[in-house]
Amino acid sequence: HKRLIIAIDGPSGAGKSTITKLLADRLGYIHIDTGAMFRTVALAVRRAGVSPDDQPALARICHECTISFERTNGCCQVLLNGEDVSRAIRTPEISLLTSAISAQKVVRDFLLELQRQMGSAGGVVLEGRDIGTVVFPDADVKFFLSASAEERGRRRYLELRARGENISLEETIAAVVQRDKQDEEREHAPLRRAADAIDIDSSGLSIEEVLERMTAVIEAGL
Ligand code: C5P
């Protein structure tokens, strides 16, 4: 079989990470969490203490940071200059900063290059906001995974609580809605469904049901 490039885009909390990992495992593909790459740049920006719209500083930070993934026993760690930052990039503060720096062209161009290098050989499932529209417009299969704002906020809330974050459900839903708005309204590579993407609304569907739908689409195309 040909080793495909599969794109999964959609707003935050739609279930992309869970689904992407499981789908990649099922197909024997690698998965690439492009959101984690943007988050890692945001963390570097936060640590450097620079403003998210200081273009020259962002360019310097991108130039100086090395982002890589380490795959150990099924779990995937994100490394910033060799340091495991998988946990540090998942705080609500970094989520919002990520949405701000991801609107900057210099950051997008830097990560675009890296994402294309990582994925172009195929046998890969990439999750993000602009995979089907910008990163791999010729991807073999494109999904747009969404869910209602309440459902997405609720999932994020459970995730954050499980991690020990002290945040309310209302705050989490508001943060999710704010981040989507920023992602949809930005000028460069906004969150948008590709014209040829297959829509899946995961509200009310189990993980297994979403996976079954995707697998059916992929098999029909092979
Ligand atoms: O998917 P995740 O919630 O980890 O993404 C964090 C943020 O990274 C998003 O809110 C978005 O601003 C940005 N992002 C992006 N393009 C991608 C993936 C993520 O702009 N392909």
Query: Per-residue confidence at 73, pLDDT binned at 50, 70, 90?
Result: low
pTM, 2 dp? 0.93
For residue 200, the SS3 value is strand
Q: How far is ligand 1, taken at its centre, from the CA of residue 205, in Å?
A: 23
Ligand 1 surroundings by CB, under 6 angstroms: 12, 34-35, 38-39, 98-99, 102, 128-130, 179, 183
Does 16 show up as a binding residue in the annotation?
A: yes
pLDDT per position as a tens digit, 57-72: 999 999 999 999 998 7
Q: What per-residue confidence (pLDDT) applies to 32?
A: 96
Q: At what angle do helices 16-27 and 207-221 cross, to 10 degrees?
A: 50
Summarize pLDDT for 92-147 with one digit per residue, the tens. Answer: 899 999 999 999 999 999 999 999 999 999 999 999 999 999 999 999 999 999 99
Q: Predicted ipTM?
A: 0.97
Q: What is the mean pLDDT of the chain?
A: 94
In which band, very low, low, confident or very high, does the pLDDT at 74 lie, cut at 50, 70 and 90? low
Residues of the chain by 3-state class (helix, strand, coil), percent to 5: 50, 15, 30
* Sequence-distant contacts of 156-164: CB under 8 A, at least 24 apart: 156/12, 156/13, 160/92, 163/87, 163/90
